Homo-oligomer: A and B are copies of this chain.
């Protein structure tokens, strides 16, 4: 079913077992996840772990956030792979407990390479193929495509230069 963290215009009820401070924190991450195109449920999980004082087992996340087992399991798996969450072994507890990893730089780095760079990965090959096709053209047409290609190459270069820089900047303050 998922949570409902009601915004002004939203009339569904807020999950009763969450405290206001938790609702606020979760909202923050859910908002963020929309900007990044990530599933809401993952953001809910991360948000709750982020404000929680102690590590939580999957059960608790399911119960308090109103998630299905499947979502919780997949979400935790994803977040763990991303490095956004780590497992913690709690004395006298059988279940795996999770806590939020709060390091922006690593998070952003992994997220960028996972979500963005994979999409860019063969842009080099693509540009090359475009270049080949351009050679087959003639006259005005070829001139134009070649100019465009040159532009694309410079865009790609600039784009690549930006990523490490962003990471450095994000690392600075935290």
Which B residue's beta carbon lies closest to that of A52?
B144
Query: Are B158 and A126 in contact, CB atoms less than 8 angstroms apart?
Result: no
Cα(A136)–Cα(B32), bound, Å = 25
Contacts of A123 in B (CB 8 A): 28, 31
Partner of A24, one of B129, B144, B172: B129
In the assembled complex, A104 has its CB within 8 A of some CB on chain B: yes
In the assembled complex, A37 has its CB within 8 A of some CB on chain B: yes
Whether A140 contacts B53 in the complex (CB less than 8 A), given A126-B24, A152-B28, comes out as yes
Which range holds the interface residue count of chain A? Answer: 35 or more
Minimum Cβ distance to chain B for residue A38 (Å): 10
Contacts of A158 in B (CB 8 A): 104, 169-170, 172-174
Query: Are B35 and A116 in contact, CB atoms less than 8 angstroms apart?
Result: yes
In the assembled complex, A98 has its CB within 8 A of some CB on chain B: no
| Copies of chain A in the complex | 2
Partner of A126, one of B21, B28, B37, B157: B28
Contacts of A169 in B (CB 8 A): 158, 161-162, 165
Contacts of A37 in B (CB 8 A): 37
A121-139 Cβ-contact flags toward B at 8 Å (1 or 0): 0010011011001101100
In the assembled complex, A94 has its CB within 8 A of some CB on chain B: no
Contacts of A90 in B (CB 8 A): none
Q: Which A positions have Cβ atoms within 8 angstroms of B?
A: 19-21, 24-25, 27-28, 31-32, 34-35, 37, 50-51, 53, 102, 104, 115-116, 119-120, 123, 126-127, 129-130, 133-134, 136-137, 140-141, 144-145, 148, 151-152, 154-155, 157-159, 161-162, 165-166, 169-170, 172-174
